[in-house]
Amino acid sequence: MSVEELESVVSALPAAELARFSQWFEEFMADQWDRQIEQDLLAGRLDPALQRADDHYAAGRCTPL
C-alpha cells in the first residue's frame, strides 16, 4: 500500500476510528523511538553526549530539577 493510499483511507475514517487510529499510531511511533534510542545506546552513538553530561555534572554545572 502506498502512502497516498494510506492517506486516503485515514482521511475517510469516522471521527471515533480516527481517534483510535491516532492513539495507536502515537504509541507505535513512541515504540519506534524507544527502539532507536536503545540501538543508538548499544552502538555507542550516544557515548559522546553522555560523557559531556557526566563532565558537566562533575564540574558542578548542573542544577536539580
Question: Is residue 53 pLDDT above 90, yes or no?
Answer: yes
pLDDT at position 9 = 97
Question: Is residue 64 pLDDT above 90, yes or no?
Answer: no
Parent domain of 36: 24-65
**Residue 32 backbone dihedrals phi, psi, to 5 degrees:** -60, -45
Q: How many domains does the chain have?
A: 1
| Euclidean distance between CA atoms 45 and 40, whole angstroms | 5
Q: What is the pTM of this model?
A: 0.71
User: Do the domain assignments include residue 46?
Assistant: yes
Question: Is residue 63 pLDDT above 90, yes or no?
Answer: no
User: Do the domain assignments include residue 19?
Assistant: no
User: Do the domain assignments include residue 11?
Assistant: no
- Residue 3: pLDDT band by 50, 70, 90 thresholds? very high
| Euclidean distance between CA atoms 21 and 26, whole angstroms | 9
Question: Is residue 24 pLDDT above 90, yes or no?
Answer: yes
User: Do the domain assignments include residue 29?
Assistant: yes
User: Do the domain assignments include residue 6?
Assistant: no
Question: Is residue 5 pLDDT above 90, yes or no?
Answer: yes
